[in-house]
Chain A
Amino acid sequence: MYPSRFRYEAPSTVAEAVAMLAAADGEAKILAGGQSLIPMMKLRFAAPAMIVDINGIGGLDYHRSDPDGTYRIGALCRHADLEKSAALADAQPTIAAAAPVVADPLVRTRGTLVGSVCHADPQGDWASVMVSLEGAVVAQGPNGRRTIQVTDLIDGPFQTVLAPDEIAVEAVIPAPRGARAGGYLKLERRVGDFATVGVAVSVEMSGGSVARAGIGLTGVGPATINASEAAAALAGTALDADAVDAAAQLAAEAAQPRSDHRGSADYKRHVVATFVRRIGAQIQRSEHEAA
């Protein structure tokens, strides 16, 4: 497990990092938590000529809410920061549900949510969570910043629309239009296993009905799947069993799984539907308890 030769840089500001990337002519890679990039380099699936390690850049390790409810997660906020945050359970229940099932405890202390989204692994858990929340990333390049919806960011397996000289500095989740509820369920064979199937459901409840819903699917397609029709089936409903059932069916149809050693395509579709139902029931239960 010996990577190819590479140059290592450790800038201390985002601007400096962007300049290094720009100078590297597409031959550089950003190193965040390194939990995906370093294994790829050791297997020589990736052989970047230069590594731009952003871990020395200050002020990127936050996750916080703006006064209006917009939620921001900095590029160096680790999975473990999200897992251990007590405030998150109320503010971002889907993220709180996903954090403990991403990878294993060792990986979670290093890996970053932003890095995971940028890595665009179809089996990555965070992209589905972000899709369900209508999340975006803020990318900074030589010409300033732009905001890209996660659904637009990912344009294939391990592919994003980020330019080689752009850094995703944070992930942004828009302010909710009601009370947030949601969940993330993942079928894994053991801790640290990538998802055979992962389902993120996020809803915003207002006056007893769903003001907004989002459903993201992990591991059941060539990229993270935005099950928008399934989510639409929840909007405006009271999240009753029929509505959830309809959404579950539509989510299963939105999935594009392959049969492989983790399971048949039919099975994976069935699990997608089951998980949508289970998260729906979970949300209903906690709404009842709250009421």
Chain B
Amino acid sequence: MALDEIKIGGLGASRRRVEDNRFIRGKGNYIDDIALPGMLHMEILRSPLAHARIRSIDVSAAWAIPGVRMVLTGDMLAARNLAWMPTLSYDTQAVLATDKVRFQGQEVACVVADDPYIAKDGCEAIVVDYEPLPPIVNPIQATAPGAPLIRDDKTGQDSNVVFDWEVGDREGTDRAFAEADVVSTIEMHYPRSHPSPIEACGSIADFNRATSKLTVYMTTQAPHIIRAAVALVAELPEHMIRIVSPDLGGGFGNKVPVYPGYVVSILASILLECPVKWIEDKSGNLISTGFGRDIYLKGEMALRNDGRILGVRMHTDSDHGAFFSDAQPSKFKIGLMHSAFSCYDIGAAYLTAQGVYTNKAPGGVAYRCSFRVTEAMFFQERMVQAAATDLGMDQAEFRRVNLVRDDDFPHRTPWGLLTDSGQYGKCLDLGLEAIGYEDFLRQKEEARQRGRLLGIGISTMTEPLGAGNSREYDILGIKMFDSAELKVHMTGKALLRTGAKTQGQGHETTWAQIVAHELGIPAEDVLVEEGDTDTAPFGMGTYASRSTPVAGAAVSMVSRKIRAKARKIAAYLLEVSEEDIDWELGRFSVRGAPDRGVTIQECAIAAYSNMPDGMEPGLENNAYYDPPNLTWPFACYIATVEVDPETGVWDVLRVVAVDDCGVRINPMIVEGQIMGGLTEAYAMANMQFITFDEDGNCIGSNYMDYLLPTAWETPGFELHEVVTPCPHHPIGAKGIGECATVGGPAAFVNAVIDAIGDTGVRNIDMPLLPDRVYEALTGGHDVSGAPPVTTE
């Protein structure tokens, strides 16, 4: 009797998340839950100013406070060559400021004390003498003639420009524009946002002088990369470094970079020879750690009257803050901005991008997306809406005309990426049907007669996930593969470890389901562990929706290696040759005599107690998986809204989501990811942003100003699915962690713009605050949200 795959928690089972057992009981093990004997506590003193020269730092009063064990400043670090650290983008970032502070909230000094209260008192006792300099908060200011030079620490850096890049076919694109019937243009700003995991960052560094071993518990999405970085920067031997990433209260890209707090806690532990704990507070997290977005677009589309897109030209200006610490976007082809329009069959495309330094926190990180494709997809879908409007064409029809057709795969995008599968038209049609598109258009018209403003917004996109393939993708030279190690114990229970690191995605549940699918071992018999570099196989960590596409594939591959060995054992036990063995889920049998068989569990015992002569005992293996291509999920999000013409307040009426993420391992978790992503998309469109005033003050460094939506205002989501298996992934999965955050925002914005379409307004920058909508509605013009915000 064949096993029922759903019953054993295999592929397609909406199995409850095993990790939730401890989380909902308050038994998780987060960084702040960890206490080591003799542990001291560290707090950071941050700059109140956005741009200022440091004349002097007086730490004497801090040292005088009973219980203060150490006060660290930039000068102390400089003496050890640690005042600056390298970033992932081959830039440098100040660990503690020596010469200048370059953004509000920058780390200036650290105090280590017996408890965090005393450490905080110590920070307050430090006197810093600042000489204020003019702050820069946007690219226009950064590139204005005579702009103050932010990075005067860098030799050869004589402007605030970080990079100037181009990609695509310039001449071909020019030709497309020459042939166009209509050219559609739009400008917009994707505002600075913050991943804002509920748990902020933190570390406990524990250097043991006796063993020379450094153990660092830290909130990181990529523990192995951190180990390598510590080995290189601190010049410690790699085998004497152990990074443990415990339970993480969210990451969203914020826990990929290395932050000064980690570095200083490590140094303090080495100097003091005892464990040093640093727990960042919420404001510290929001004001100083990896933000997302903050990119300006000038977009142009060359269109033919029949609706075909002939060419696309884009220029982006990105604001990277004071230190360029993105994940090496030049290597990733302009941060994958050039993945824009991958779902459309467009003629030619050309993209230029300029990045600048400003007096803002450094970044930006890919906030819940692959190398910042969120901006690319948002710009794409906003440009598409404007183009359809300019052509006088229906939004849905314009997309249908231009979407890549099912029989066009594999499809080479104009920037050279290869999409391999999808049913774009089907997803769009399903979405339109679910929302009742034609009906809604009628309702909208009727409502308009009565002075009510309804709108509908569509967003369709495919995004590149699962970096990478090792030919094209690496971080600091380390290729972007991933890994899994599987140990099947004698009793058929198993331990699985991967190089990924869950932050709430449910790996402990999902990975076990892949093993169940491949081996027929019930998912509940598989323990999943991640995050400890002393035990987990080397991997690149979890971000960019890469876990299922890469580490998940490695789980499949290692399971198959185990199955191959088990097959040999089965042949031995059944006394037939390997070729005469059939496999069904969980069991080998003799071909032609299906009653004669052994289970995978029986093979496991035999691997330790009764293996064939000459066979290595045990049933363990590992796999390193290098994906042949990126994976390309597709999504169609449709939102309907009503705008209050008197206040500019808008309410979401309905949201329909159609996601094709390939094969779904755990449909419940997939749906959770989509709902979470749509919530963030709604947040971005509606309320969530960080801005700055003329003085460079960060507005959004606490949850009073930086608003995350609650269950109260978050709309309901209606989810639908289409399944086009990924052709190269072992189980056909494509990744789903980020689709909705990436594709979602444009649906909401398009809906509001549609609702006020009669005004001729093309753009309102996110978030679509009521006053911005009201201004657009009454003034009939676009509304920019670019900083600085004016405060009277």
Contact = CB atoms under 8 A, between A and B. Distances in A.
Given A261-B789, A263-B770, A2 B646 contact: no
Contact of A265 (B116, B770, B792): B792
Contact of B712 (A2, A190, A263): A190
Contact of A264 (B120, B647, B707, B775): B775
Contacts of B472: none
Given A261-B705, A274-B647, A187 B770 contact: yes
Interface stretch (A48-56, A191-199, A228-236): A191-199
A259 B116 CA distance: 38
Given A1-B281, A267-B775, A192 B710 contact: yes
Interface string B641-668: 0000011110000000000000000000
A260 B791 CA distance: 5
A53 to B, nearest CB: 19
Contacts of A44: 120, 124
A277 B167 CA distance: 55
A189 B687 contact: yes
Classify chain A's interface size. Answer: 20 to 34
A260 B789 contact: yes
Interface string A238-264: 000000000000000000001111111
A262 B769 contact: yes
A189 B686 contact: yes
Given A2-B120, A190-B709, A259 B790 contact: yes
A268 to B, nearest CB: 8
Interface string A264-283: 11011011001000000000
Contacts of A263: 769-771
A201 to B, nearest CB: 17
Nearest to B711: A191
Nearest to A105: B712
Interface string B704-739: 110111101100000000000000000000000000
B710 A191 contact: yes
Classify chain B's interface size. Answer: 35 or more
B699 interface: yes
A13 interface: no
A4 B122 CA distance: 11
A288 interface: no
A261 B699 contact: yes
Interface string A6-48: 0000000000000000000000000000000000000110000
B608 interface: no
A1 B282 contact: yes
Contact of A274 (B124, B646, B686, B705): B646
Interface string B764-781: 000001110011000000
Given A190-B707, A191-B710, A261 B770 contact: no
Contacts of B769: 189, 262-263
Contacts of B702: 43
A189 B689 CA distance: 12
A5 B120 CA distance: 11
Contacts of A267: 648, 770-771, 774-775
B32 to A, nearest CB: 12
Contacts of B790: 259
A36 to B, nearest CB: 11
B713 A191 contact: yes
Given A189-B769, A190-B710, A261-B705, A4 B121 contact: yes
B117 interface: yes
Contacts of B282: 1
Contacts of A3: 117
Contacts of A196: 770-771
Nearest to B703: A192
A260 B787 CA distance: 12
B691 interface: yes
Given A190-B713, A192-B710, A263-B769, A271 B647 contact: yes
Contacts of A261: 691, 699, 705, 789, 791
- Of B283, B702, B774, which is in contact with the most chain A CB atoms at under 10 Å from its CB? B774
A44 B771 CA distance: 32
Contacts of B774: 267, 270
A260 B769 CA distance: 12
B791 A259 contact: yes
A243 to B, nearest CB: 19
Contacts of B124: 44
Interface of A: 1-5, 43-44, 104, 187, 189-194, 196, 258-265, 267-268, 270-271, 274
In the complex, the 5 A-B pairs of residues with the closest C-beta atoms, listed nearest first = A263-B771, A267-B771, A191-B712, A258-B792, A2-B120
16 contacts: A2-B119, A4-B117, A44-B120, A104-B712, A189-B686, A189-B687, A190-B707, A190-B712, A196-B770, A260-B789, A261-B691, A261-B705, A264-B771, A264-B775, A267-B771, A267-B774
Interface of B: 43, 116-117, 119-121, 124, 281-283, 646-649, 686-687, 691, 699, 702, 704-705, 707-710, 712-713, 769-771, 774-775, 789-792
Given A2-B43, A2-B119, A267-B770, 15 more contacts: A2-B117, A43-B283, A104-B710, A104-B712, A187-B649, A187-B770, A189-B707, A190-B709, A259-B790, A259-B792, A260-B791, A261-B699, A261-B705, A262-B771, A264-B771
